Amino acid sequence: MKRNPNPPVPVGTDLDLDSPAVPARPKRMREANCRELLRLLRQNSPCSRADLVRSSGLTAPTVSAGIAALHRRGLVDFIGSGTSNGGRPPRLLQFNAGHGYVFGADIGGSNVRLALADLNGTVRGRWSAALRSDRSPEAVTDMLAAGVAQLREQNGIPAKKILCLAAGAPGITDVQAGRVISAPNLTGWDDVPIRQLIEDKTGLAVRVENDVNLGALGESWCGMARHVRNFVFLAMGTGVGAGLVVNGKLYHGSNWSAGEIGYLLVPGLPNLILDVNQLGVLESVIGGKGIETAWAERCSRAGISNSLQSLRATEVFDRATEGDEMAREVLHRTAEILSLAITNISLVLNMSLVVLGGGVGRHTALLEATRQFLNRHHFSRPQLAVSSLGADAQLYGAVWLALQTAETHGFRRIPVHSGEVPVEA
């Protein structure tokens, strides 16, 4: 990951400046001023107080007081003198990104990944491990905790400087309660208190989110959907899911299942009863395993019984681009069903952009075939794009969420089990 030139600065940050007790209104004004100064400093480091006066519209004494408070907190460094315009050279300021660190975690269907980042979002270390045969919540969170300890030790970072950890889980996730309601692609993941498990094993305050939602946050932060306020991140891999961003915010729905499009009922597919403990009909057809099953069935009917019968979904699409007619049939059927799902979502939400992610969804042949189906319509044709972040979309999103949470708490280490971790993204 590369450093983001415009780190996220969430609205509503509350900086405790360790100042004496004052009437509520002046204190709130000072805090608001410091939030704005910190936002400008993070976006424009290095800069001078005079630069901040010009860009913020605040008075010079207000800027000086705010910078002094932030310096006491360790959030601002003085790094020398700038270029003089005839008078005394200005003293340059810089946001101290090493004041603390955050972890982003992605729990997938086959592996667990971690990213350790400073407060600018620059990744300082990575860790990943394949899931073992025991994929229970206890075993997976044990692996995650071991990875946290290993990364922290490798980078020489004391525990007190780790401010927060944000983790993504595959399945319907109650963000407020910190529980995975159901994750059919992981055995035994029903009503799992994932936040408590990770907090108990790492000693860190934890924020949890659905993994596809994290992919949407990553794309919004520094991917294809940057500056787009209404879009869908549609992930196709082992499973199929969508992260919905409406008016610049994630949309979770009333029971946390918004975006679970793997259960979408599409014309031409079986009309099954929805069950959170089983795969949805759309996911079973255009998820990776569904595509592979469709290919294997065609091979069987054609009398093909060699290794070709066991191709992965992306390998089938590769063959389609090479002119294999049977593979093209699978590709076009997948693209047609996907286009129906996208059209239905667009008719309800009128999104301007759909970003395809996941190992299957990122294949360019699927993008082009789906676009052709969508272009038949006269309206409700969102722009279609492939994720620019690749497999890292969820990790970027997890880092962003951890940074947002840390800043909301004034870049202080959040007490574990404090109930203070916000849920608004």
Query: What is the CATH number for 90?
Result: 1.10.10.10
Three-class secondary structure of residue 140 per DSSP: helix
Q: Note whether 181 and 328 are same-domain residues.
A: no
Residue 182: phi, psi to the nearest 5?
Answer: -160, 135
By CB atoms closer than 10 A (0-12, 13-18, 19+), residue 34 is: buried
Structure tokens at 169: 């889980």
In a domain, 170, yes or no: yes
Residues 278, 317: Cα–Cα separation, whole Å: 26
Domain-embedded: residue 62: yes
Q: How many CB atoms lie within 10 A of CB 400?
A: 26
The verdict on residue 14 lying in a domain is no
Number of domains in the chain: 3
Asked whether residue 382 is assigned to any structural domain, the reply reads yes
CB neighbour class for 167 (10 Å; exposed up to 12, middle 13-18, buried from 19): buried
Q: Is residue 121 part of a domain?
A: yes
Q: What CATH number did the domain enclosing 188 receive?
A: 3.30.420.40
For residue 76, the surrounding DSSP H or E stretch is strand 76-81
Residues 160-196 have pLDDT tens digits of 999 999 999 888 999 999 999 988 778 788 899 999 9
State mean pLDDT over 289-317.
95
Q: Are residues 287 and 357 in the same domain?
A: yes
Is 90:49 a contact under the CB 8 Å cutoff?
A: yes
Q: Are 90 and 128 members of one domain? A: no
* Contacts of residue 153, Cβ cutoff 8 Å, sequence gap at least 6: none
pLDDT of the residue at 418: 54
Instruction: Looking at the structure, tell me whether residues 163 and 257 fall in a common domain.
Output: no
Tokens coding 262: 């793997």
Confidence of residue 35 (pLDDT cuts 50, 70, 90): confident
Q: Which residue has the higher pLDDT, 425 or 199?
A: 199
For residue 87, what are its two tokens?
A: 């008078």
The letter for the amino acid at 205 is: A
Cβ(139)–Cβ(75) below 8 Å = no
Asked if residue 211 belongs to a domain, the reply is yes
End-of-domain residue from the set 63, 95, 127: 95
pLDDT at residue 16 above 70? no
pLDDT at 365 over 90: yes
pLDDT tens, position by position, 385-420? 999 999 999 999 999 999 999 988 889 888 887 555
338 and 247 together in one domain: yes
pLDDT tens, residue by residue, 62-74: 999 999 999 999 9
What is the tens place of the pLDDT at every residue in 326-356?
999 999 999 999 999 999 999 999 999 999 9
256 phi-psi bin (left φ>0, alpha ψ -120 to 50, beta other): left
pLDDT score of 342: 97
In this structure, are 91 and 127 located in the same domain?
A: no
Q: Which two tokens stand for residue 252?
A: 């979770």
Instruction: Determine, yes or no, domain membership for 158.
Output: yes
368 and 252 in a common domain = yes
Structural contact between residues 170 and 209, judged by C-beta atoms closer than 8 angstroms: no
Helix (H, G, I), strand (E, B) or coil at 48: strand
Residue 193 shares a structural domain with residue 296: no
The arrangement of strands across the sheet holding 91-95 comes to 47-48, 91-95, 76-81
Which of these three, 38, 73, 95, is where a domain ends? 95
My answer on whether 258 and 145 are in the same domain is no
Contact 213, 423 (CB under 8 A): no
401 in the same domain as 378: no
Closest CA to 170 of 224, 213, 221: 213
The single-letter DSSP state of residue 214 is H
Backbone angles phi, psi at 319, to 5 degrees: -65, -35
Whether residue 241 sits in one domain with residue 196: no
Residue 9 in any domain: the answer is no
**What sign does the CA torsion over 391, 295, 368, 250 have?**
negative
Measured on CA atoms in the order 406, 409, 413, 418, is the torsion positive or negative? negative
* 3-state secondary structure (DSSP) of residue 2: coil
Helix axes 313-321, 364-374, angle to 10 degrees: 70
Q: How far is CA 147 from CA 105, 178, 393, in A?
A: 10, 21, 20
- Its domain, for residue 312, covers 228-388
Q: Are residues 119 and 259 in the same domain?
A: no
Arithmetic mean of pLDDT over the chain: 90
The domain boundary residue, chosen from 95, 126, 154: 95
Kindly report, residue by residue over 210-242, the tens digit of the pLDDT: 999 999 999 999 999 999 999 999 999 988 999
By C-alpha distance, which of 423, 362, 424, 421 is closest to 163? 421
Distance CA 425, CA 422 (A): 8
Assess whether pLDDT exceeds 50 at residue 318.
Answer: yes
Distances (CA, A) of 283 to 64, 182, 268, 338, 359: 56, 15, 14, 10, 14
DSSP string covering 93-132: EEE-GGG-EEEEEEE-SSEEEEEEEETT--EEEEEEEE--
